[in-house]
Structure 1
């Protein structure tokens, strides 16, 4: 076994391209960051449920990005950067076709850009990384990005209105910071939350509702001795020099697993079905979720909404940015059973996620229909494009690139036409969860074979593993303008593993 750093050196220097090379390290997705303080007791704090955002008037919301002290590790406080000063931020419960305007006010010492991940957003509300909100009274000069055309930068003083027409199916979406070069540390500090889009089709199904329909944001963090977040930024101020220490270039994985912002929480549940909207909001860590002492996940939805029919899984592998909408039936367990959601890819504390305690019998009128949604036909692809995600040398320095090119705002790698579909072939040298803005896609194949059961449905993020070839059928609907695709390992994204495409 060579070290992770040595493995990446091989990738960057020799450009290994042998399928299956490094299979003994196939699950390496980032470098572990150890906390400086003792880790909290597992399953000792209740699962928090993020508050629901309340509109200031119909269709209009206001949210403030600000620093706040919160108790994450019991007995100490952590300064977070949160929407409305909470982590996760408030959950926006929105309806399909209901035009929504969210005013984001920035009171942080750094610029921000908010992206609605999975949203069919107009280009000026998509959270382009150089379209920034700067706190009132603060100046910002992107001098650190002298390799970019500064004419591509737009600064909004104090606040920005993000407009979401929401002409899309019901789905579990999420929002997070998307600032150029600094997405990873700013999300790490707490700038993320849920958006649940609902519609009549989903509402009409007899799936669990109300208190049994739960958003579940899973991520990992590390902590300093004083309880503050630990992160290996080259510039802790996040104002001038982007990037992380060399040992963490493949991604940062913390040693504390948080669910809805709490370390290894528990939830007391009825002996009934629950709908869990699973989101991997980690910077780099992948999870293979299982239930112990046994149990199954019945998947009803993917990134972009309902599946055509339920799919049963013994385990689900979730890459950063992916969502899985699943039903767990706790009536299958005797009262008093403690059911632990574990991570088969983790060791030590990272091997546990949260615990469900089956406390009482209760009425349950929910059900899982055999058919969930009708699948609309997809037009034949009009083009095929290839995108290679790889670490390459750029000017004497290593960079995470797409087709050998680091991200350059204003220089699209593709110009697909609105209303068409294309096949995009995605290849990689490492774990690269690929996210496409605006467009939805279906996974066609992996290495020429059928997709995995967890690839079902319409998606916006796909787990591309080392030396894998993944074909996806991408549907371009919504708006003309410039959008992004990128690796959702946030450290890779910050090191230029993004590409612009222009919808014409």
Structure 2
């Protein structure tokens, strides 16, 4: 895709250059968080009516071995034919044959090793989003796992990452990264971090959008003693919810606007340069599912696993008194105190752990969860059917959750600026398209810094290695969804967000990037090196 193709005749046009999205019917609209980016890709398949499919719960993966310090898991990345739309088969790229992949559950302070075997027809990279891990297990975008069958060589994989992309270069891969492995790679996660809702997904340079769209995503939960002592909902009332929009071809296959369907060169058609939005909303891989709940407290671990679509989620009918959501956790773990909301906003990649007391609605009520940033089919998300009958419920939301160490911005040694914007190359940071090995920053370990993110259009900014704390938005107080430890922060157009961050434990090369996956694939990434 050349400069003329990118700027001329695209759905962005002048609107994209001045930082205004192009909302389409059924895709996005103006809301409390501004205009959603992206263009709508409509399905050619007949979509089912909402709330006819039961909510699937991803299976929890058991370790293949355990020692006194370490749990070891094995996951095979494989093609699987799934029934996502009733009566049709969808060929997905999966972790272990399911979408989402299996949920991993780790113990804080106990090492987790995950061996991934790639039996897919394409190279992959695995990133544990929110994981505090050394560089060789972070999922650097050129540290590929080549297909086990040898169908793609290292040279072919390199060419497939760089040809035709704005400013991408395969040269200059920094020392200390693993490069390419054939067939298998083992990732080691020390898990020196508190209880949190993390997720893992593909992170291959130039191809992340397609790979995640086709199914390469799953939950990874961290537990610890402090969380277990709290009276939060547990067991069947602790539910992970991966929300993702998709589009489907007439035969049920995933629809995605590739320029090269043979997958030899990366790139999407002009009109989707701002992000791909689907018209079907999947929750845990099911279209608009329904879940039966008791009149009791439930913990919902909500993840925005979409490529480009933000969500402002609320119930179609509020309980008496409002504030249906008690937020107890954010990207990096539990909050110091719960925060109550009528709605929850999530940019792509963000998570929110919320507790909902379904006893606040009458038995027999169907409560719909909707996205107020969308119209049409994309407005509906899922539903909860509230069962009749008395049940035991000893869960509650305590006034105090966990100890929360605050980063003092007065102790910051420096402030760094990162400008996320569009230019002649595509999507860039500080006027530079991504080049592996070119560091945008070299922060010192254990030194506090302030990082300032500025955008000209909506960009959810994700930082690897350590979580951060939001200090301000446009030089005023943080927003209602900026609480807690964050690894991703959603920036509407023409906003500036300041965060405090301190990198600890691991020296090496890590990433910051936009988590609109189409923007990420089109060079809106940057390396930083901790020293």
Give TM-score scaled by structure 1 length.
0.95
Counterpart of 1:453 in 2: which secondary structure? coil
Q: 2:277 aligns with which of 250, 253, 271?
A: 253
Q: Is the 8 A contact 1:4 1:31 kept in 2?
A: no
**Residue 27 of structure 1, CA deviation:** 1.6
Aligned to 2:475: 448
Q: Do residues 384 (structure 1) and 415 (structure 2) align?
A: yes
SS of equivalent to 1:350: helix
1:232 aligns with 2:266: no
Change (3 A) 1:337 1:172: same
Distance 1:139 1:393, change over 3 A: same
Match among 139, 144, 152 for residue 139 of structure 1: 152
Q: Match of 1:493, SS?
A: helix
Match of 2:420, SS?
strand
1:290 is aligned to 2:321: no
- 1:194 paired with 2:225, answer no
C-alpha separation in 2, matches of 1:488 and 1:139: 27
User: Displacement of 1:15 after TM fit?
Assistant: 8.3
Equivalent in 90, 109, 115 of residue 78 of structure 1: 90
- Decide which of 47, 53, 58 is 1:39's aligned counterpart: 47
Q: 2:11–2:272: 8 Å Cα contact kept in structure 1?
A: no
Measure how far apart 1:11 and its partner are.
Answer: 4.5
5+ residue gaps, structure 1: 17-21
Among 399, 424, 449, the residue aligned to 2:451: 424
State the Cα deviation string for residues 146-204 of structure 1 (Å, max 9, x = none). 65244628110110000000000100000000001000000000000000000000011
Conservation of the 8 A alpha-carbon contact between 1:217 and 1:280? yes
Please list every run of 5 or more consecutive structure 2 residues that lacks an aligned counterpart in the other structure. Answer: 1-7, 21-28
Partner Cα separation in structure 2 for residue 78 and residue 343 of structure 1: 25
4+ residue segments displaced more than 3 Å: 3-12, 22-26
Paired residue for 1:304? 332
The answer to whether the aligner puts 1:271 opposite 2:283 as a matched pair is no
Distance 1:350 1:183, change over 3 A: same
- Are the counterparts in 1 of residues 11 and 39 from structure 2 also a CA contact under 8 Å? no
Question: Which secondary structure state, in structure 2, belongs to the residue aligned with residue 298 of structure 1?
Answer: strand
Alignment deviations for residues 261-297 of structure 1 (CA, whole Å, 9 cap, x no partner): 0000000000000000000000000111001211411
Deviations 1:54-78 (A, max 9, x none): 1110110000000010100001110
**1:7, CA displacement in angstroms?**
4.7
CA contact (8 A) 2:159 2:265 kept: no
Return the alpha-carbon distance in structure 2 between the equivalents of residues 61 and 15 of structure 1. Answer: 44
| Post-superposition offset of 1:421 | 1.5
TM-score, length-normalised on structure 2? 0.90
1:241 is aligned to 2:268: no
Show the 5 A alignment for 1:53-452.
53-58=61-66, 59-136=71-148, 137-140=150-153, 141=155, 142-144=158-160, 145=162, 148-150=169-171, 152=173, 154-238=179-263, 240-295=264-319, 296-360=324-388, 361-379=390-408, 380-394=411-425, 399-452=426-479
Is the Cα–Cα contact under 8 Å of residues 12 and 274 in structure 2 kept in the other structure?
A: no
**Aligned residue in 2 for 1:51:** 59
Residue number in structure 1 paired with 2:484: 457
Find the counterpart in structure 2 of residue 19 from structure 1. none
